[in-house]
Structure 1
C-alpha cells in the first residue's frame, strides 16, 4: 500500500503542526494548520484518507467567503488514539487519550478519553473500559 501520499501544511507564520513520537499514518493523510495549531500525540494509529484542519478556510456569511475573515481553532489529539479509515477532524476539536474513532466519521466536537466514537457527526458509542 505505497500508493498514497501525506500532505502537511502550516499556512501562516503562526501555524504549527506537532506530531508525537511513535505516531503512524496510513496512505493519503492531510493535515492543515491554517493560522493555529494541529497537535497529534504519541503512539496514534491513523487510517488511510485522514483529514484534519484548524479552519474552515472561509466564513459562512456571503460577504466573508472570499475576504479572509474567518475563525480558526486549534485541534488537539491526545496519545494512543486510533483512527479508522476516512476520518475527518474539524476545527476546535479535542480528542482525549486512548480513544477510537470509527471509519468514515466526521468529528465535530470533543471526544472523551477511552471511548469509541463514530458516525456523521461522530457520537459516543461506548466506553472502552
Structure 2
C-alpha cells in the first residue's frame, strides 16, 4: 500500500464515514472528505477533515477518489459534475472481510464492496457501484454502473441489473430475471419477475407500485 495514492472520500454522510473505516482497514491513507454542505466544512472524523466542496476536487488531483453517496441518481450527477472539470482517478475498494474471487469477478472503477459480501463466479460489476454489507451475488450476474445494493440483499444467478438501480435492504431476487435502468426495489421485497426500467416494485412477491421519471 506504500505506493498507493491518498484517498479523498466524496460525501460526509453515514456511508461516507463507513467508507472511511473500510479504507482504514485496507491501510489506505485518507487525505480528507469533500462535501457540498458548507456546515460540514472543517469538521473531522477520525482526525480526517472535511476539506471543501466537491467542485474543489481538482485541488486534490494527485489523490484517488471514491464517491460515497448511496443514492444512485445523485451519485451519477456528482460524478458527471466532477468530470466536467477533469479526469479524476477513482479508487475501487473491496473490504478485506468480503469474499470476491478476483479471477472470476470484474469490478469497475470507483466501486465499493463492503464487509461480509460474497461474490461467486463470472460476475460483472460496473463503475461506481455500491454493494453494501452482507450481500450475496450469484454466478453470471451483471450489475450496471451507478447501482446501489443495500445491506443483506440476496441476488441469485444470471440476474441482470441495469444502471442506476437501487435494491433495498433485505431484498431477494430470483435467478434469471432483470431489473431495468433507474428502477427501485423496496426493502424486504421478493422479486420473482423482471422489472421494467424506471419503476418501483415492492412486496412479497414484489409488484409494481409506480412508474418514475428520469
Q: TM-score range by the shorter chain?
A: 0.7 to 0.9
- For the aligned residue pairs, the C-alpha RMSD in angstroms reads 1.5
Alignment correspondent of 1:86: 170
- 1:23 equivalent to 2:129? Answer yes
1:5 equivalent to 2:108? Answer no
Gapped regions of structure 1 (runs ≥ 5): 11-15, 55-73
CA distance in 2 between counterparts of 1:96 and 1:125 reads: 15
Shift of 1:43: 0.3
Q: Which structure's CA Rg is the greater one?
A: 2
Residues 113-124 of structure 1 aligned to structure 2 (within 5 Å): 113-124=197-208
TM-score, normalized by length of structure 2?
A: 0.46
Q: Which has the higher helix share?
A: 2
Aligned length: 102
Please list every run of 5 or more consecutive structure 2 residues that lacks an aligned counterpart in the other structure.
Answer: 1-17, 23-96, 98-114
- What's the CA shift string for 1:61-114, capped at 9, x where partnerless? xxxxxxxxxxxxx21110000111001111111100000000001111010100
Richer in strand (by share): 1
Q: Offset of 1:128 from its aligned partner?
A: 1.0
